[in-house]
Amino acid sequence: MIYNVTRSRTGKPKVVVPSSTGGDRPQRARHLISLIDEALYRRGVFKRLGLRKKVKAVALMPVNYEKARDVFLEHINREGLPLLNELILEYGGPSIRAVFDVLRDGSAHPVAFYCTAGKDRTGIIAMLVLSVLGVAREDILNDYVLSDNVYEEMGDKNAMVGAMQQEKLDPETFLRAPRHVMEQTMELLDERWGGPEAYLASIGVDKEQIEELRRALCE
């Protein structure tokens, strides 16, 4: 089941809806939900550039796309995974709510959720779910860092390093899952939204839905 995004005039996601509804739900369904796409990533990074870098990127875009892209990549490589997680939380609210709609439906269980690397978008969802289930922050951080060397353990690191370098991304930054990344993300949740549960409330996941999630996962 593919979920479509309805956007505001500014391009920010407003709501995520399944492309097909009605009829009997299959016993097992695959839900394809995008938490962030390249356009939103670019928009979020552009917002965070200094004025001179913004002017440079805008001036270069029509005449030399690669050089304009390098302006973004310099910022992306410097800020790393904490920036990616921040943008997922900032722009991915409707999609995160859609994921929670699936997870709190006990009739759909068991549920597996994953992404390309299995640590960034997946890590955000896992952190939010574990947080509202009452799992200790230390245990959530310990769970996250289990993915830190996953590519090496799978024997897939060289291929992924090559893919990262081709995109001019720093493999040492983007193929890892160091503790400080999720620590910064959880601190951001506290400072900007008042914690994971308050963040979920801000995107439309209310207390009753969180209780449904707890029943579906814990009872």
Catalytic residues: 115
By the 8 A CB rule, do 160 and 171 touch?
yes
C-alpha pair distances (Å), 147 with each of 90, 122, 161, 176, 208: 23, 11, 16, 7, 32
C-alpha pair distances (Å), 177 with each of 5, 30, 44, 89, 174: 28, 26, 22, 17, 8
φ, ψ (nearest 5 deg) of residue 4: -95, 145
**What letter represents residue 76's amino acid?**
I
Distance CA 103, CA 91 (A): 20
Helix%, strand%, coil% for the chain, nearest 5: 60, 5, 30
Distance CA 131, CA 118 (A): 18
**Of 121, 125, 118, whose CA–CA distance to 140 is shortest?**
125
